[in-house]
Amino acid sequence: MLLPTKCSFFAHYRLHKSKSPYICPECGGVCRAAHIQTHVKDVCCHYARKIGYKCPQCGVVYGGITSIKSHIQDVHCEAFHKCPICPMAFKSAPSAHSHIYTQHPGVSNQQAK
């Protein structure tokens, strides 16, 4: 196996020799002894020799492009509720409905959707 850096080589070596600190050779994450094998097998796919996709925000590694896209959308993107009448957007649906009710009187619920 060819590892890209000396640091990843030593992390890989410690992993197989069960020596601390338990550092993932794929992502650099530090785990407790009880969790390192699960981490490298299921999270970083170290033993599968698969390409992983690392989240640029939090560093979590996923095995597939669909998984990383879903993670970014679910965890790191805020959903906004846009007013259908004006350019305003809100973090919650109740705030958007309140805005429509107060700022655009006379607009029915059907028109607001």
pTM as predicted: 0.35
Altogether, the residues listed in the chain come to a count of 113
- Confidence check: pLDDT of 1 > 60: no
Range of the domain at 89: 81-112
d(CA 51, CA 42): 13
| One domain, residues 25 and 52 | yes
| One domain, residues 108 and 86 | yes
Question: Is there a domain that residue 1 lies in?
Answer: no
- What was the pLDDT predicted at 99? 92
Question: Is there a domain that residue 41 lies in?
Answer: yes
Q: Which residue has the higher pLDDT, 68 or 112?
A: 68
pLDDT in tens, 38-96: 877 777 766 666 667 778 888 787 777 888 888 887 887 777 888 889 988 888 888 98
Domain count, the chain: 2
pLDDT in tens, 15-31: 777 777 777 776 777 87
